[in-house]
A and B are shown apart, each in its own frame.
Chain A
Amino acid sequence: MTTAATIPALHGMVTVGVPVDRAFRIFTDSFGTWWPAEYHIGQADLAAAILEPRVGGRWYEQGVDGSECDWGRVLAWEPPHRLVVTWQINGQWQYDPDPEHASEIEVRFTADGPEQTMVELEHRLLDRLVDGRALRDGITGGGGWSAILELFAKAAANQE
């Protein structure tokens, strides 16, 4: 599939009432404690989500049955201010090992006073995910997206 158009990056921002080094640590070391458990790709329920604290580290989930599924890799590890990881989960909710299909997530932590930190997130290079043919197949075939949205619907229902 050819995608000429560039998909605009996504941006998110949140301010938390903790010092910058602590915000970075909670985001990374404790990633599995706050990541919404409904967003996972393995067949098994999510037991843990892990971000290995180094460049080249794995970003992956562990299922309750011990299975592991990769999400991406750590590209930049600069505590306590910057983190870049790849997001290689395609439209069929599967890990795509091809680095050409890897989107990137950059997270920046900026001290906004001694006890406050601004956390900015950018999810970019989304075109690369789409270039993975699976996205189109998933949507038109109704397979992958249906499965994702089942999870999504369940999660949304549980919250409301």
Chain B
Amino acid sequence: MDTYEDAGLGLLGDPTRRAIFELLARRPSSVGELAQQLPISRPAVSQHLRVLKDGGLVVSRPEGTRRVYRLNPDGVTALRAYLDRIWDQALAAFHKAAEAAPVDPQQEAE
């Protein structure tokens, strides 16, 4: 019922990507560390990370022999994606409330 037209913001609509995003918000991690905390394989984690990286939510840098991922520190895209998620849920909740509300006895009050 509610739609967002902006490209690139469907990124956190996927539950696994959201989970990865949340884990990285708590702690920068490698692919292996993320895979240990999620019910998916390392290649699947890598694939999601690539999408998040392409979308600007996540950055990576090599540390010794491994590559460590974290939220994009410029914060802009991440904040926007997060707010987008809030409005997505809020408008869905508003829709539900509006459709469910009993008819208002003060209908013509305004």
A26 touches B4 (CB 8 A): no
Verify A130–B76 contact, CB threshold 8 A: yes
Determine if A35 and B101 form an interchain contact, defined as CB atoms under 8 angstroms apart.
no
Kindly list chain B residues whose C-beta atoms are within 8 Å of the C-beta of A119.
91, 94
Give CA–CA (A35, B91) in the complex, Å. Answer: 9
Chain B, interface residues (CB within 8 Å), range: 35 or more
Which chain B residue shows the least CB distance to A90? Answer: B79
* Cβ contact within 8 Å between B25 and A145: yes
Report if A5-B110 is in contact (Cβ < 8 Å); known contacts: A11-B4, A123-B87: no
Number of chain A residues whose Cβ lies closer than 8 Å to a Cβ of chain B: 49
- A135 touches B (CB below 8 Å): yes
A14-37 interface (Cβ within 8 A of B) = 14-18, 21-23, 25-27, 30, 33-36
Q: How far is the CB of B69 from chain A (nearest CB, A)?
A: 14
Instruction: Compute how far the CA of A145 lies from the CA of B24 in the bound complex, rounded to whole angstroms.
Output: 10
Is B67 engaged at the interface, CB distance under 8 Å to the other chain? no
Knowing A22-B107, A129-B79, A152-B82, the reply to whether A8 touches B91 (Cβ < 8 A) is: no
Any chain B CB within 8 A of the CB of A42?
no
Question: Could you tell me the dominant secondary structure of chain B's interface residues?
Answer: helix
Knowing A3-B76, A26-B98, A145-B71, say if A12 contacts B4 (CB, 8 Å): yes
Any chain A CB within 8 A of the CB of B63?
Answer: no
* A72 in contact (CB, < 8 A): no
Which A residues are within 8 Å of any B CB, using their own CB?
3, 5, 7-8, 10-18, 21-23, 25-27, 30, 33-36, 39, 79-80, 91, 119, 121, 123, 126, 129-130, 135-136, 138-140, 142, 145-146, 148-150, 152-153, 156, 160
Chain B interface residues toward A at CB < 8 A:
1-6, 9, 15, 18-19, 21-22, 25-27, 71, 73-76, 78-80, 82-99, 101, 104, 107, 110
Give 25 A-B contacts (CB < 8 Å), ordered by A residue.
A10-B6, A10-B83, A11-B6, A12-B3, A15-B1, A17-B98, A22-B98, A22-B104, A22-B107, A26-B98, A34-B98, A36-B90, A36-B93, A39-B86, A80-B110, A91-B75, A121-B87, A130-B75, A135-B75, A139-B73, A139-B75, A142-B26, A145-B71, A145-B78, A149-B21
